[in-house]
Amino acid sequence: MKKMIEIAKKAALEAGKIHMEFFNHDKEIFFKQNEFDLVTNVDRQSEQVICSIIKQEYPEHAFLGEESGASTNLSEYLWIIDPLDGTTNYTHNFPHFAVSIGLYKSGKPLLGVVLDPFKKEMFWAIKGEGAFLNDKKISVSNADCLKKALLATGFPYGRDNILEKNLEYFKKFIYKAQAVRRPGSAALDLCYVASGRLDGFWELNLSPWDVAAGVLIIEEAGGKVTNFNSDKFDYNIKNILATNKKIYTEMQEELNS
Ligand code: IPD
Ligand code: CA
Ligand code: CA
């Protein structure tokens, strides 16, 4: 496992260098599903670099990357990659974005790395060995009720009923929590719950690459991640509730009422 986490960190750092090279400089911007769903040359280049570093060491492993999709080979090991989480922030030179790399074995998380290259913060975890921010162990917060809690969420790119639904949740939580934020990188939102900067996070319709690494980082930091119905999280579940455990029930009730 030591070698695997080193490779994951190296791949994240190399992708982070590409982010920083183009940050505050011109980048090529393209549209994906609609005019709000952006991708840049930096997303694409970063994913290529990450995959080539990992493939050099583990050519037989499978990959699922946001920009290149799923590899065709079968392996019990699956690397799930978001080369640039927070692309909208990034295109505006808003300094809150990340690289996210998770490794799963037979569907179970083995390790996760989320790097914020602007702030030079690397969140990482290995199954059973705790969660870390750079070299320091992290753990979730102690906030024990919504009134004391700082929450975050994110909104989908589609202007549809999922957006409407989340606006309803946002309205509920903004009345009940101490405050609610929309930082713009789901991978970092999860790591902020893991490190106690946030007490809870929810979002609808996420993809495996948004959460594959962050979920393990929260669990290893003592938090709890499920879907809105309390089913244990796996990376294919789209609607996610991530908390410090203490505000779990209160948040879950709001999401189901
Ligand atoms: C997005 C970010 C955002 C979240 C969106 C994601 P991307 O990922 O994580 O915070 O609200 O749902 O799609 O497109 O920047 O990789
Ligand atoms: Ca993402
Ligand atoms: Ca992305």
Taking only the tens place, the pLDDT of each residue in 86-121 is: 999 999 999 999 999 999 999 999 999 999 999 999
Please give the number of the atom of ligand 1 that sits closest to the Cα of 183.
Answer: 10
Q: Which residues contact 230 (CB under 8 A, 6 or more apart)?
A: 252
Residue 37's pLDDT is what?
87
Share of the chain above pLDDT 90, in %: 93
Positive or negative torsion for Cα 54, 55, 58, 61? positive
Residue 193's pLDDT is what?
98
- Residue to mutate (ligand 1; options 40, 85, 89; most atoms within 8 A of CB): 85
Report the top-level CATH class of 146-255. alpha beta
Please give the number of the atom of ligand 1 that sits closest to the Cα of 84.
Answer: 16
pTM of the model: 0.97
The candidate with the shortest Cα–Cα distance to 190, out of 38, 82, 32, is 82
On whether the CB atoms of residues 131 and 123 are closer than 8 A, the answer is yes
Residues with CB under 6 A from ligand 1: 82, 85-87, 154-156, 184-186, 203, 206, 210
Please give the number of the atom of ligand 1 that sits closest to the Cα of 206.
Answer: 12
H or E stretch at 103: strand 98-105
Residue nearest to atom 5 of ligand 1 (CA): 156
Other Cβ atoms closer than 10 A to 14: 16
Q: Which residues contact 130 (CB under 8 A, 6 or more apart)?
A: 137, 220, 221
- Residue to mutate (ligand 1; options 185, 211, 215; most atoms within 8 A of CB): 185
Q: Do domains 2-137 and 146-255 have the same CATH topology?
A: no
3-state helix, strand, coil in the chain (%, to 5): 35, 25, 35
On whether the CB atoms of residues 124 and 110 are closer than 8 A, the answer is no
Residue 38's pLDDT is what?
87
The whole-angstrom separation of Cα 67 and Cα 84 is 10
H or E stretch at 164: helix 161-176
Q: Which residues of the chain have pLDDT under 70?
A: none
Residue 220's pLDDT is what?
98
CATH 3.30.9.10 fits 2-137, yes or no: no
The whole-angstrom separation of Cα 163 and Cα 158 is 7
- Tens digits of per-residue pLDDT, 15-55? 999 999 999 999 999 999 888 988 999 999 999 999 999 99
| Residue extents of the structural domains in the chain | 2-137, 146-255
Residue 232's pLDDT is what?
83
Distance (angstroms) between ligand 2 centre and the Cα of 99 equals: 9
The whole-angstrom separation of Cα 234 and Cα 208 is 9
Distance (angstroms) between ligand 2 centre and the Cα of 44 equals: 13
